[in-house]
Structure 1
Amino acid sequence: MTAALQVAGLRKSYGALEVLTGVDFEVERGSIFALLGSNGAGKTTVVRILSTLLRPDAGTAVVDGHDVTAHPAAVRESISLTGQFAAVDERLSGRENLELIARLRHQKDPRQIADALLERFSLTEAGGRKAATYSGGMRRRLDIAMSLIGDPKVVFLDEPTTGLDPQARVEVWDAVRELAANGTTVLLTTQYLEEAEQLADRIAILHRGRIIANGTLAELKTLLPAATVEYVEKQPTLEEVFFAIVGEDAPVTQEA
């Protein structure tokens, strides 16, 4: 079976500024692929090209078997894109947001689709509330749920946890894992090292317009010298302290 995403020699410039200088990678179907890089590395440019929002200057990009330049309409039918900020209508309830997207995508029985997605993302009890009352994590989960209407084969998540608190980040991570478990291919861009470590089957590091490393976490770790064994007193991280205090398993779906 061919890869879900195939990128070769991708280049893009804005005037004299070269953003992508030859990007190459492949993503297997049903996997989570993290594109890791600092701000300005070109991650969003890659996603915009793969989602047909931007034309490359050179190179090829194939999404679900369709060339992004030659067959953009076919690509758009196969994908969904979630940007850095949740695109929900805060004046509508969670259920109304989902039903609206289902109608816009000409889906049968929008109500049933909305109910199924609310349950899948643990938002059933909050489904009748306006999205304005949702916490950051709830709003982001709703945004991802909206992106799944129409059963896209590939989902692009462009820095999905930007600005979220630790508890909300964990909620989004669980939602991303759920996508891959159901067979959806996920390309995730992030600048958070821990996020890539927690979620990705493979990680590519984008630096100065090129992929400088690509592999599993275990493979990337072999690029460093062998670790030395030392016995030290381990102190809890701030994240461990946070969850110990608030309760890691505390229900969050009803928080505003």
Structure 2
Amino acid sequence: MPRRATMTESGPEAHTPRTTRPALDVLDHDQDRLLYHGDTSRDPPVRALSDGFRTYREALSWYQAAGIRTLGHVEDVIEPRHMLPLSDIFEHLLAERGPVSEYARMRVVEALNDACDLAYREFRERANERVEDDEATSWKDVDPESEQNPLMRPAFRRLDRAQAGALLQLWNGFEDRQAIGRWARSLTVPTHGETPDRFLDMIVSSPVLLEALLDQEGDDAKRIRYRFAVNELLPPFLAAARSLTGSERTDSSGSPHGAFNS
């Protein structure tokens, strides 16, 4: 399937809305950032998959962001287990691994275009059409470059932030066992309540895992926390992205929802 023309490509059509459903243009733009251009305005930034990842943290952040912006369909091409070190796919997703990896990475990017298209089609029925109103406010006024809410839905931005924040806390490690408990309790929002059964008990009953979560400095501990995030958090994060409805829209003029301006 040929890749959709995107709004971030150079030329006279750059940033020109292509539909009268601005949320679809925003989604298309965000997906283009995932694959080809990156998004430095997001916190943490999203590195373009085509450029390859320089760190495990970049890889983890990208996959989480991709789950939101593909409505979970990134899993159709890259399963969470493929993000583990030494997996055949992950080794090619890292930057500066030579021409063979660069070619393999581009093939993954091309395959993900189908996953992006599937999310686009699924969201199409929920994307409200806009026409010019009496005040001459138009769907053309929406600038996908400045829109802060994925899919123009504040609920998706809230989920995106909650998931990114949970991963950042895990990446940095915890000061004490109580902090781990508070973090585990906070996962209800980013997973939509789909945290694995006996999640906290699984952590505290494993001396190796518990020690790794409390060791904020060691490289070995970070590697354990990374694998833990991939195995235990990314699957419920994807499930949350698939199940979120997000009926509330960004203000139709294109300004971000006021509750999320901070």
TM-score for both structures, normalised by structure 1: 0.29
Return the structure number with greater helix share: 2
Return the structure number with greater strand share: 1
